[in-house]
Structure 1
Amino acid sequence: MKTRTNTKNGDELSILGFGCMRLPTKNGSIDETRSVQMIHDAIEKGVNYFDTAYIYQNGKSELLLGRALAGGYRGRVKIATKLPPFMVGKLDHAKKIFATELERLQTDHIDYYLLHMLTDKPGYDRLVSLGVLEWMEELKAQGKIRNIGFSFHGSRTDFEMILKAYPWDFCQIQYNYMDENNQATKKGLQTAAAMGIPVMVMEPLRGGKLVTHLPELVTKAFQSCDKGRTPVEWALRWVWNHPEVNVVLSGMSDEEQMEENIRIAGEAEPNSLSQEEMNVFETVKKEITEKTKIPCTGCGYCMPCPAGVNIPGCFSCYNDKYLMQDKSARRRYFQSLGALSAKPAVASQCKQCGKCESHCPQKIAIRKELKTVSHEMEGVLYKPLVTVARKIMRIKSN
């Protein structure tokens, strides 16, 4: 496992971080046995940075990680977790959340603590006015927080204003070959590095979209350069090619994914991609951009929907229809989101409340897009067909 040094504190961090948002599941819940074993295996193979958050899987992610790190593993790793600003109306809220996180994680300190999903400078300013940053500094002085940072989903302008507003110990951004010029952007990454602020990268595979939802021409472009390299390896090597990046987080949901990522993390070096390889990425980006309808990464921050819509699921089926020219996408939409699920979760259930949009890191006009999805994926015969299918399959709504 390759490591890169956090120049602010000297930590030798594995270049692959274990993102605990997409842990293995069983019957709709985290598969604890598999998840704990994966975490233990990852540690034995050199992964020493584990990223979770207060809201991931309704708190179950922190609980699972706390259990997994018991019995001596805690001292071998760095834990990163997050404070959700939208749940903090006053300082006491932040204090209660932090206390809960320590309890869930079975630890007396957090190594890397982040303000979760900042999107603009006014949002940061609000937290400052509540005394949150001053309180975090007190916790750092007490050793309960070792490093103060933030994760970001917004424009480069706001990112750079937030960077310059506080002496951050680190930051976390979405970055992959499709987002080189989106959100914080490459220039924002370079600005952080120039300021001496370590950068952790999330969504290197765009929630799996850069792996399983690729047009045939993209696959051919990759193979024309290196037939043995998978889309996962291409995407991860692109991020690790940047010397400004300290850690790349991957939400690994099965053992095969983890093994592949660890293998690549044992080989990837900064500034190692050739000009030919970089040219392949330009071809790939052009092809994907032309076919992607909705830039959803499947992060799930928009969920749960009060009306029961599976927003990422709806967008995934819709994107598949165009990105992969997938003729079965509408059938999957019909089966998995409507006809065969105990709780239908289709786009037409949207009540236009807008709650989802305030949490979307990609700033997607979700209500508008759900109307489009409903129109294209459901149609006039959709509801009658669902009703008939549910009767035949004897499926009752919960």
Structure 2
Amino acid sequence: MNSHSIRKGVKTVLYREMGKTGDQVSILGYGCMRFPRADRRIDEKRTEAQIITAIEQGVNYFDTAYVYPGSEVTLGKILSKGYRDKVLIATKMPLFMIHSAKDMEATLDTQLKRLQTDHIDYYLMHSINSMAGWQRIKELGVEEFLLKAKEAGKINRIGFSYHGEKHQFKNIVDDYPWEFCQIQYNYMDEQNQAGKEGLSYAASKGLGISIMEPLRGGLLARKMPEEVQKVLEEHGKERTPAEWALRWVWNHPEVSLLLSGMNEESQIEENIRIADSCYPGSMTEEELETIQQAKEILTKKVQVKCTGCGYCLPCPAGVNIPVCFGYYNDKYIYNDSSARTFYMGMLSGADGGKPSYASLCLNCGKCEKHCPQHLPIRRHLKDVSKEMEKLYFKPAVGLLRGYYYLRGGLGKKSNK
């Protein structure tokens, strides 16, 4: 895997080849699922400033999807201001919404319109999780559609994202002349989903490889438990937990780039700084052993292996499943005594929104059909409810909502 750098201003961003495509991509890709928000909407002004900053410092790969609310439209507006030719756009066809060849054509045309462009550089079949799922789309004519779209110049590169088991991943790789793929990979998920075995196999076939969830939904970027922090600090390197995790992914020569859902200016600055020096195979044995020690400690603490991807949403009952699991895990991983307080504050609906805590679950199972991790979500939600919603929880929620109502918070909402 070749790596080189292109100097942008005061920063240098390393680039690698995107497999057999030969395209030069920044090793840091910009994940566009979690743009910053204000008043529950994408903060377009702040998002634009963040994206332009990233582009000016060498980031050239932007990953979005049809189903990321507002993402394609926002990205299209920003790139139309003279930046489109500076970047590669990756977006995805939502397979669960596709039932005919006409659906494929309509979806792609909508995406081109949203993104204000005449072509998609990297087009993915979104979340192929099994051969059966891939076969269904083939029977609808996806191969003919992709060929036609590529010949028309609407698509440049064809790939897929994957959340299934590793034994089916190889079959999907071999069943179509893919040019790239996108898999989940981080030091906590080295053997999960496609895993290291799938990573190596895809690379051996010449596919460019984009990594999602390198920080496992932010888990690997947060303040670590004391015993983990001690392990990281004892190595002697002044690195944040996020830097350790990102360097571990970039250390793999099979990886073309990783995606980071950056929505804070500090995140962009830190990630670009790290991407300035992450060559494949550059981590020492001592550094890799440090990561292994941290992994062993964290593995024992995680209660629910949720990455926070949000595919389980929307919940018919309004449960914010990833946030429920996030605070539940925080309590155990970080021994966070304030986790229950934050859980109540964020999920009670006391701010004028709708309640979204775990015990609202109707046990319908819709979420489990869409979970890339194949988690028993309903069972986990019962565990969350038992641990995070003690006897005082619902009375306290009622008091909070009543307080905000009297202050005008809920009253103003209801009068609109």
TM-score by length of 2: 0.93
Matched, 1:255 2:272: no
Alpha-carbon offset, residue 340 of structure 1: 2.0
1:56 pairs with 60, 68, 71, which one? 68
Matched, 1:190 2:205: no
Partner in structure 2 of residue 38 of structure 1:
50
Alpha-carbon offset, residue 392 of structure 1: 2.8
Question: 2 CA distance for matches of 1:205 and 1:77?
Answer: 24
**Counterpart of 1:17 in 2: which secondary structure?**
strand
Letter in 1 for 2:360: Q
Matched, 1:163 2:173: yes
Structure 1 runs, 4 residues or longer, greater than 3 Å off: 395-398
Partner in structure 2 of residue 47 of structure 1:
59
Question: 1 CA distance for matches of 2:239 and 2:393?
Answer: 41
**Counterpart of 2:382 in 1: which secondary structure?**
helix
Partner in structure 1 of residue 374 of structure 2:
363
Partner in structure 1 of residue 155 of structure 2:
145
Alpha-carbon offset, residue 382 of structure 1: 1.9
What pairs with 1:197-346 in structure 2 (closer than 5 Å)?
Answer: 197-212=207-222, 214-338=224-348, 340-342=350-352, 343-346=354-357
**Counterpart of 2:25 in 1: which secondary structure?**
strand
Partner in structure 1 of residue 103 of structure 2:
93
Question: 1 CA distance for matches of 2:319 and 2:52?
Answer: 35
2:362 pairs with 333, 351, 366, which one? 351
Alpha-carbon offset, residue 319 of structure 1: 0.6
Alpha-carbon offset, residue 51 of structure 1: 0.3
Letter in 2 for 1:259: E
| Cα contact 1:148–1:168 (8 A) shared by 2 | yes
Question: 1 CA distance for matches of 2:329 and 2:223?
Answer: 8
| Cα 1:339–1:304 shift into 2, 3 Å | closer
**Counterpart of 1:245 in 2: which secondary structure?**
coil
| Cα contact 1:296–1:362 (8 A) shared by 2 | yes
| Cα contact 2:127–2:161 (8 A) shared by 1 | yes
Show CA shifts across 1:341-394 (max 9, x none).
321101111111111111111111111111111111113332222112322332
Question: 1 CA distance for matches of 2:391 and 2:244?
Answer: 42
| Cα contact 1:159–1:188 (8 A) shared by 2 | yes
Alpha-carbon offset, residue 72 of structure 1: 2.2
Letter in 1 for 2:377: I
Partner in structure 2 of residue 25 of structure 1:
37
| Cα contact 2:301–2:332 (8 A) shared by 1 | yes
Show CA shifts across 1:15-69 (max 9, x none).
1100101111111111100111111111111111000000012xx1000110110
Alpha-carbon offset, residue 206 of structure 1: 0.7
Question: 1 CA distance for matches of 2:230 and 2:38?
Answer: 35
The number of equivalent residue pairs is 396
| Cα contact 2:325–2:384 (8 A) shared by 1 | yes
Letter in 2 for 1:153: H
What stretches of structure 1 of length at least 5 have no aligned partner?
none
What pairs with 1:101-180 in structure 2 (closer than 5 Å)?
Answer: 101-180=111-190
| Cα contact 2:36–2:263 (8 A) shared by 1 | yes
Question: 2 CA distance for matches of 1:24 and 1:214?
Answer: 24
Alpha-carbon offset, residue 93 of structure 1: 1.4
Partner in structure 1 of residue 404 of structure 2:
393
Partner in structure 1 of residue 26 of structure 2:
14
**Counterpart of 2:348 in 1: which secondary structure?**
helix
Question: 1 CA distance for matches of 2:200 and 2:382?
Answer: 39
Q: CA RMSD for the aligned pairs? A: 1.2
Alpha-carbon offset, residue 339 of structure 1: 5.6
Letter in 1 for 2:58: G
**Counterpart of 2:161 in 1: which secondary structure?**
strand
Letter in 2 for 1:243: P
| Cα contact 1:213–1:320 (8 A) shared by 2 | no
Letter in 1 for 2:101: L
| Cα contact 2:18–2:25 (8 A) shared by 1 | yes
Q: Percent identity?
A: 52
What stretches of structure 2 of length at least 5 have no aligned partner?
1-12
